[in-house]
Amino acid sequence: MALEMSISTLYTMMKQEMDKQAALITGRASPRERKGNNVYIKNNKVVTKPKGNEKRKRETSISPATQNQHVLGDNNKNILAPAKLHRTDPFAYMRSRSHSLTETTTPKA
């Protein structure tokens, strides 16, 4: 008899727990809270958390073939080239400066 009593009490406890969860599920959260958020039930409470995955916009990728066509089609724009090509060589820069500093001696009259 005691065993039957404990099973019935377990059943009623489970039934009460399921009723609580059903009540929480039906009135879980307003549509405004649910929009874009994760809503779940934990310890007989409704928990709303914002989604963690923020998406960023990526730059459009262009294949090399299309990039060449794109560059050739734009005559008014600069041709894309690595920054290395546009840099002046520091040795050549100093060499040209050292040559320009030479003074020519002019005969005094």
Q: What is the pLDDT of residue 80?
A: 66
Is 43 within the bounds of a domain? yes
Overall pTM surpassing 0.85 (yes/no): no
Provide the residue range defining the domain that includes 19. Answer: 2-50
Is 71 within the bounds of a domain? no
In the chain, % of residues over pLDDT 90: 0
Is 18 within the bounds of a domain? yes
Determine the Cα–Cα distance for residues 8 and 27; give it in Å rounded to an integer: 29
Who has greater pLDDT, 75 or 16? 16
Determine the Cα–Cα distance for residues 30 and 23; give it in Å rounded to an integer: 14
Is 36 within the bounds of a domain? yes
Indicate the number of domains in the chain.
1
Is 85 within the bounds of a domain? no
Is 37 within the bounds of a domain? yes
pLDDT one-digit tens code per residue, 21-53: 777 776 655 666 667 777 777 877 777 787 776
Determine the Cα–Cα distance for residues 53 and 42; give it in Å rounded to an integer: 22
- Say whether pLDDT at 14 is over 80: yes
Is 78 within the bounds of a domain? no
